Structure 1
Amino acid sequence: MDADTLRAILDAQAMQQQKAFDAQAMQRQMRHQKTLDAVMERMERMFSAMGATPAGAPASTAEFVTNSLSTRLPEFTYDPDSGCRFDVWYNRYEDIIANDGSTLDDAAKARLIVSKLDAATYARFTNHILPKKTFDVSLDETVKILKELFGHDTSVFARRYAYLRTQRNDETIRDYTGLVNRHREMAEFNDVTPEQMKCLVWICGLANPEDADIRVRDLRKMENNPQTTLKELSAEIQQFVDTRCQALRKPAIINTVWYVSQRRPHWAKDCDFANKTCHDCKRVGHKKGYCKNFTSKKKPIPKQKRRSANNVVTARPKLLPPLVSLKSANNTEINVRGHFNCNFNIDGHEGRGNCHEADTTSLLGLDWIAQDEPLFRRLTKGAICNVSASKLNTLRTSLTKQLQKQFVTVFAPGLGRCVKSKAHLALKPDAKPVFGKARPVPYAALPRISQEIDRLVAADVLSPIDHSDWAAPIVVVQKISPTLRRLLYWTERRTQATPAPTSNA
């Protein structure tokens, strides 16, 4: 299936869903309009009977409509993992706010929307618009800011990539169908061009774990430049792969050597010193030291073994026995091979000292740093010599109070609750419910057990139910303190659970 066919199918599905949604919205709008007309007619009759002035009626009507809409609209809570975003919430209730609240002005509609934000969302919104107040922001600007703050936490191309990789895990067929529809709306596939579709399919094909950095680089490239073609994308990635391969390649080892060069015997006509003047006899034809009229005053040098032209002299000094014993930060011994005395140069400042060779990274000691006065002064200029701990307890107490005030729920007594993820229990397809009977407990422990169960229910650790096909007995564990008891939930080892994946599976 090519990209054009896939896009045509997706557009047809989107059109059908839009038509169904428009029909439902129209029916809902007609029902709301009839209800509002009936309410307005009843209010007019009531105002006529009470002799209300025309000037007071509009204010009472606006207040009544605001209260009615506030009752009907649910509170908005931001939860991107569950799809609870402001754009979804506003698209659902925009028709109600616009039509049923047609008698309200934009400022009243903005106040209505802000009033439906929960505490955390409202605090984040008000902090974002500072130094302005909520009544200083118009309706359109309020909706725009809320969509930016409480919208998608991923880029559009990342959502499209996730949509193309949607898979069914443990959902039912209907839930999986709804998941595909929701991901499709989140991916904004109506705006996808053929080149973007080819790039997305190309990125989806990079499924190997070693291509993870390439996938991230591709998505970032598409996000920065949506008009990127597949040819440009592949060329850039090929250049990136080539550069990475060259960087990971081990460089060739080049050793600095001293090449000893010796000239061979030559004829007199080929001598380079034929026109040189001797400093001893003042004659032309030979250099100093080869004059036959004077005897050399230097002591004869004993004949040494002739060195060939390929001799190499290395500059590796001889190691002396180690002078120090070293340990790492985790108290592990560091092997010290030895030391040697050498001259060194640091940024043009020369010095001399001992160099210790050990199985560790290269470190510059204080004895060498002290010989470089500018470096030593730069390192010790901002050193802290005295530390005062007189205000430590006061600072610790104020910091504790500040954290307790800022994070009240964290320091509240009782257990916390994880709302970011949900646990799922996977059973085998042929698993059968097992109902374990309760174990007998001492009569004297019944009140304490009931009290412990009530405490766990109050802390939302346990939830009471009327019936269950699964059940397991509990065991009472007595602690050292006579006033504290804890329930240990115990189940026999069953084979109903799905085995955890292993490296061999």
Structure 2
Amino acid sequence: QSTKTQSALPPSPCWCCGDMHFVRDCAYKQHVCQDCMQTGHKEGYCSCVPKKSKNKQQTNVNSLYAANRVNSTSKRKFLTVSINGSQASLQFDTGSDITVISRKQWCDNLDSPPLSPTKQIARTASGKSLSLLGELRCQVTLGGVTRTGTFYVTDKQINLFGLDWIELFELWDTPMSAVCSSVTGKVNRVKQQRSLAVKSQGEANMKTGLGPTDAASSPSESTAWHEEHLRWYCSQYLTA
């Protein structure tokens, strides 16, 4: 019986109250501590409560990361969103806590709407400070769905669709291929078709004896045609 009693005891006292029982059995789990006003432990045991989750949350709020961590251009995924009725192209990036738009795109694509001062502190992936010019609360539309979100403007040439908007549109349960890869695939196919068309036209010119000057216009016309269809593919896939 003594062995059975000992095996029922935890290896260390409960960090909620100090008694010898498992935390799951502690009567103080719903108790509001009068020292720190937090729920889940007895007075005098505030420092014993694990704080990893809380510290992580505070870090994300006080020091946000806003920089893409994908070095290979071929692996980057882009999507087009409508911000207050104007289109913006952003890189889909789960490594960025916030959505960031460059000053250039803010001016050229969005017509420089007034910004509000921001208290957010952003850092790059290397830990360096990233200057933010301000923030804007806006109506953003993706795939026919409209939400109210906030983006931040920077002097750097950075345009990122960050975690805040990924959560805003609940994209965690959506395959990435449904958001970006389909467009990327179409872009790659168009580029491949364009390359084959230029190559075929060049071979045809050689067979017919056309000189360099005569052949130069055909690849250019083919390139323009495919560029036009590339824009059409993107406009059909993502609703602005």
Task: State the structure with bigger RCO (CA 8 A, min sep 6), 1 or 2.
Answer: 2
User: TM-score, normalised on structure 2?
Assistant: 0.25
Is the radius of gyration larger for structure 1 or structure 2?
1
Q: Which has the higher strand share?
A: 2
| TM-score between the two structures when normalised by the length of structure 1 | 0.12
